Amino acid sequence: MKHLHRVRLIAGTFIAASVTASVSIADTPFPSTYKAPSHAPTLITNATVLTGTGERLEAASLYFVDGKIVFVGEPPNELTSDTRIIDAEGSWVTPGIIDVHSHLGVYPSPGVDAHSDGNEATAPVTAEVWAEHSVWPQDPGFGRALAGGITAMQILPGSANLFGG
C-alpha cells in the first residue's frame, strides 16, 4: 500500500488528507512501450559542426553509437568493422531543435474535425487536460518536423483558455 496525499486550498489554508491506495506501474493507463532501436556505430566526417555551445568546428567529425554522441572533433584512430561512415563535406551538423510548445498530433496537419482535439475550452482553467490522451501518432506533421530538425517536442493542449493542461 502506498499513501497518497491530497491537498486542497480552502479560504487560504492548506488542508491535507491522507488516502491509502495501492498504486503500481500496471495502474498507469498508457505505459510506455518505447525501446530505442539499436544502430551500427556511425562516423560523420568533413562536416561543419555547430556544437550548441557557440563553437563552430570546420571539417570535423562526429561519432555516435546507438544514438549517443561519443565524440566531436578529430576522428578516432580505430573504428569497429561495422561503423557506418558518412562523408558530409559541404554539409552542416547542428544540435536538434526542441519545440517547447507544439500542437502536432492534437491539431494534425493536414487536419480534419475528427482529429482536432487540441483544446478544452469549456472553462478558463483546464489544467487537468492531458494532450497524451488525444495525440494522433500518424500525424504527417511529425515527419515534416523531424525533417526540419525538430528532435524533441512538448505537445500541449491548445491555447484557447487561460490555463490549459
Gap between the Cα atoms of 149 and 99, Å rounded: 10
Count of alpha carbons within 13 angstroms of residue 8, beta-carbon side: 5
Extents of the domains making up the chain: 42-93, 97-155
- Per-residue pLDDT tens for 18-69? 444 454 556 667 777 878 778 899 999 999 999 888 899 999 999 988 888 8
- Is pLDDT at 142 greater than 90 in this prediction? yes
Measured CA to CA, the distance from residue 158 to residue 165 in angstroms comes to: 8
According to DSSP, residue 139 is labeled -
Local structure of 147: helix, strand or coil: helix
What is the model's pLDDT at position 156?
Answer: 83
pLDDT (0 to 100) of residue 24: 56
User: What would the grid cell of residue 19 be?
Assistant: 488516502
pLDDT, residue 159, reads 76
pLDDT for 165: 64
The predicted structure's pLDDT at residue 5: 37
Q: Are 155 and 105 in contact (CB under 8 A)?
A: yes
Model-level pTM greater than 0.75? no
Using alpha carbons only, give the angle 19, 22, 26 rounded to the nearest 5 degrees.
140
Per-residue confidence at 6, pLDDT binned at 50, 70, 90? very low
The mean per-residue pLDDT over the stretch 66-78 comes to 82
CA angle 65, 71, 75 (to 5 degrees): 95
List residues bridging with 47 in a β-sheet: 60
Q: What is the CATH number of domain 42-93?
A: 2.30.40.10
Vertex 66: Cα angle to 152 and 140 (nearest 5): 35
Tell me the per-residue pLDDT of 91-141, one tens digit each, with 9 for 90 and over.
Answer: 999 888 999 988 888 888 877 777 677 777 788 888 787 787 788 888 899
Q: Is the pLDDT of residue 17 over 60?
A: no
The candidate with the shortest Cα–Cα distance to 108, out of 142, 139, 148, 143, is 139
